[in-house]
Amino acid sequence: MTMLSFLVALLQVTPALAGEDPVAPYIMRDTHAGARPARETVLLEAFHGRAGIDRVVDDLVTTSQADPRIGDIFKGQDMVRLRRTLKEQFCYLLAGGCSYSGRDMATAHKDLGIQAKDMNALVENLQAAMTREHVAFRAQNALLAKLAPMKRDVVTR
Ligand code: HEM
């Protein structure tokens, strides 16, 4: 690492944002989003733009918190931050022109004890949210295909 890239990296260490809890410092990188962004711009249209992505994430988070299968996992966590970073992540992956400023998937989930069945429940909730947003199935599957390999970083037991 050169001195210049070190200084640039230092500037990217996240401060705590308004309404969010502080997290241990880390360097922001788009690669923390866990997959490369899509190349097709039609996906963003299929999700009805950034506003549609935001609606899908809000629906996913709200239904998952109320879901008796996985709701307890979200108790006591910073849901303001989760909504923000999840919106960024989906927008980044769907080529919506966002940067992802959150932590990598392994770091974000390491203490949550997530099981494969929890991941399946979350994916079901995401599919339901995308269907309520009238996202075409082909576009739904494009996002799910980006997320599927992240299971190895999210599921820890
Ligand atoms: C591919 C699947 C998943 C993706 C893409 C994903 C994405 C994210 C993102 C972007 C964050 C925020 C990172 C940050 O704070 O810097 C996060 C945190 C979190 N995720 Fe996931 N997640 C996935 C699976 C799950 C599952 C299956 C559960 C539980 C059923 C879950 C529960 C949580 C919780 C509770 C947090 C907050 C942790 C904290 O604030 O310390 N996630 N996830």
Q: Is residue 13 part of a domain?
A: no
Mutate to test the pocket of ligand 1, among 94, 112, 146, 147 (most ligand atoms within 8 A of CB): 112
Contact 94, 41 (CB under 8 A): no
Domain that holds residue 113: 28-154
Q: Is residue 99 part of a domain?
A: yes
Atom of ligand 1 nearest to the CA of 122: 27
Overall average pLDDT of the 96-122 stretch: 97
- Taking only the tens place, the pLDDT of each residue in 62-88 is 999 999 999 999 999 999 999 999 999
Q: Is residue 10 part of a domain?
A: no
Contacts with 118 (C-beta within 8 Å, 6 or more apart), sequence order: 69, 70, 73, 155
DSSP symbol at 13: B
Query: Tell me, what's the pLDDT at 18?
Result: 84
Q: Is residue 20 part of a domain?
A: no
Position 11 confidence tier, pLDDT thresholds 50, 70, 90: low
Q: Is residue 62 part of a domain?
A: yes
Mutate to test the pocket of ligand 1, among 154, 155, 156 (most ligand atoms within 8 A of CB): 154
Q: Is residue 119 part of a domain?
A: yes
> Which CATH number does the domain housing residue 83 bear?
1.10.490.10
Report the domain count for the chain.
1
